[in-house]
Structure 1
């Protein structure tokens, strides 16, 4: 029985800041952002969007009435959780109108959470082939204004429906993974902003990729020639390229040209959205599937997932015969092109606008947010979500 990704949905907020203009305001050469880290635009989450609303908006795109009957597990990978106890998955379960006979949980391991969710979902479907699992990766990357990590912020969510006989990508059984205790990136309980040792994080990302790639080759006898493309978790688009270059000498010139061409295509969405943590790898996959029109069914796609702290995994899948019919072609490009640019000053003001931390109530104006699902405020320490339709 084949198990894998049956549908993919994506959402990012309706506003962004231009990285050239951010660089100028920060008194650095624009090429440091646009070429040095490979980012052109950075998605910004208004106060009316959080991890829950973004995930729900992404899921709305793919979950139909038939899916609602089959989904009996909702797994929410995030490091932008809204509650220390209650899972974000329960809110999404409610907002989507799923039936009550379903499990709903939240997973956390930095940017690896959604991948852990997929692996858990595969096991569930293997035992219950009639079931479908909704896996969510939703995050707001926040490092702070004028910090070293500011240029690698972003916001967005990816929703994946995992099922038997998937229509998009059948995932292999074999994968390779590694865990090590590394303080390259973390967010203390008292902080709403992440801390990062950028140099160490880059080094560990590359080292983890090399380690799991070697493991994977030993397990499967795979070579670069076996892959049409390899997609990466992308905190910024140059990061995956750095790791990739370390192994490209294992293949032929033809392998290098094919893989690097497809890598650039897989990074197109990330380049204009920014880092979305748990959803980043799957945004790369989506970018490849939607923007490479001649990608053929039967092609093998590798995936490298990395979550600081740290856990890494390499796995792969095979494109199915009708995969393009399952993609909302053109819709995501339309979403991205319809966004509104804000000035750096406006971005800074939006960044500083946060919910009360003293338990007071607040009502938010959702009229300016075009999303179907929004955060409308906080009352009695409970977030108030609205679905407009």
Structure 2
């Protein structure tokens, strides 16, 4: 029996900021954004989209009525939760009409949460091969206006349906994880924006990849030659390349060129959306599968997950037979093509807006957001969603 990702879909809100005019407004050379960190646009969420609605929109196209009856777990990985107690997965469970005798939980460990959920789902399916698990990484990255991290903001979610005999990626049981208590990036409960030590965070990320890769290679007797591609958690599109390049210095030209070419394919969606935290690694996987037409069944794809604070993990999967038939590439590209660009002034006004925190009733417009699921209103400290 094989286990892995049977269906895969991402969602991002319909608004974005182009980073060239943002750079000009900030008095910065646009090349610093578009070349230096490798980003073109960043997704912006209207108030009608939050972590839950973004997640539900990502999952909606891959959860049919029949599959909703087979899902035993809904796992939401996020660091953008708006409730210290109630799981965002409980809302998603209802919005997608999933059968009532299912678990719904939320996992937090910075950008690593969705990976924890994915591997938990794999282990569950081992014992329940006729059932399915829905795993979603959903986040809204916020650093504040005119801050060092502003250009690496973003919003989006990636949903994965995990099952036996999967259609897209067969997960191997080969993962190696690592934990270290560090303060490279964190967000205290009293803060709406994250605190980040940018250079230190980059250094920790690169160190984690090197140490985990070396241990993974030793335990599994695998080298870079065994991989067709490696996908990375991408807070911005250049980050994974910084970690990979030093380790490729001793590799053959053929191996290095293959991995770097496929790395470029894996960054294309990140360039257009920005950092989506827990979903970032899997957005890279979507991008690789949607843009690299030369991939073949049976090829091994490496996945490096990293969550600040810090937890990292490297694991792999093999492309399933006929995996291309299960991809939603045209839907992904249409979603990006239909977005609306915000002026810098409109972006700043929207970013500065907020939902009430005093329990008062607040009604959001339903006609300005084309997404099928939106946050409709707040009443008595409760959020209510509309599935159109």
CA distance in 1 between counterparts of 2:107 and 2:250 reads 35
Give the equivalent residue in structure 1 for 2:366: 366
3-state SS of 1:246 partner:
helix
Q: Deviations over 1:75-101 (max 9, x none)?
A: 000001121111000000000011101
Give the equivalent residue in structure 2 for 1:179: 179
CA distance in 2 between counterparts of 1:176 and 1:250 reads 22
3-state SS of 1:106 partner:
strand
CA distance in 1 between counterparts of 2:356 and 2:244 reads 43
Give the equivalent residue in structure 1 for 2:245: 245
Q: Deviations over 1:323-368 (max 9, x none)?
A: 1111123111111011010111111111111111222221111210
Q: Where do residues 6-45 of structure 1 align in structure 2 (5 Å cutoff)?
A: 6-45=6-45
- How far residue 178 of structure 1 moved from its aligned partner, in angstroms, is 0.4
CA distance in 2 between counterparts of 1:166 and 1:140 reads 29
CA distance in 2 between counterparts of 1:75 and 1:167 reads 20
CA distance in 2 between counterparts of 1:155 and 1:174 reads 31
CA distance in 2 between counterparts of 1:242 and 1:154 reads 21
Q: For structure 2, which runs of at least 5 residues remain unmatched after alignment?
A: none
Give the equivalent residue in structure 1 for 2:333: 333
- How far residue 127 of structure 1 moved from its aligned partner, in angstroms, is 1.0
3-state SS of 2:183 partner:
coil
TM-score by length of 2: 0.99
Q: Where do residues 95-174 of structure 1 align in structure 2 (5 Å cutoff)?
A: 95-174=95-174
3-state SS of 2:261 partner:
helix
Contact 2:358 2:381 in 1 (8 A): no
Give the equivalent residue in structure 2 for 1:47: 47
What count of residue pairs does the alignment treat as equivalent? 388
Give the equivalent residue in structure 2 for 1:200: 200
- How far residue 9 of structure 1 moved from its aligned partner, in angstroms, is 1.1
Q: For structure 1, which runs of at least 5 residues remain unmatched after alignment?
A: none
TM-score by length of 1: 0.99
CA distance in 2 between counterparts of 1:294 and 1:16 reads 31
**Does residue 58 of the first structure (1) align with residue 63 of the second (2)?**
no
Contact 2:297 2:321 in 1 (8 A): yes
Q: Where do residues 72-91 of structure 1 align in structure 2 (5 Å cutoff)?
A: 72-91=72-91
- How far residue 66 of structure 1 moved from its aligned partner, in angstroms, is 2.0
Contact 2:43 2:154 in 1 (8 A): yes
Contact 1:224 1:250 in 2 (8 A): no
**Does residue 310 of the first structure (1) align with residue 315 of the second (2)?**
no
CA distance in 2 between counterparts of 1:63 and 1:100 reads 15
Q: Deviations over 1:259-304 (max 9, x none)?
A: 1000000000000000000000000000000111121111100000
Give the equivalent residue in structure 2 for 1:324: 324
3-state SS of 2:329 partner:
coil
Which aligned runs of 4 or more in structure 1 are off by greater than 3 angstroms?
none
Give the equivalent residue in structure 2 for 1:357: 357
Contact 1:19 1:33 in 2 (8 A): yes
CA RMSD of aligned residues (A): 0.7
Give the equivalent residue in structure 2 for 1:290: 290
3-state SS of 1:269 partner:
helix
3-state SS of 1:99 partner:
coil
CA distance in 2 between counterparts of 1:372 and 1:33 reads 32
Contact 2:376 2:384 in 1 (8 A): yes
CA distance in 2 between counterparts of 1:222 and 1:318 reads 14
3-state SS of 1:325 partner:
helix
Contact 1:137 1:159 in 2 (8 A): yes
Deviating more after overlay: 245-254 vs 84-93: 245-254
CA distance in 2 between counterparts of 1:153 and 1:136 reads 19
Q: Where do residues 213-292 of structure 1 align in structure 2 (5 Å cutoff)?
A: 213-292=213-292
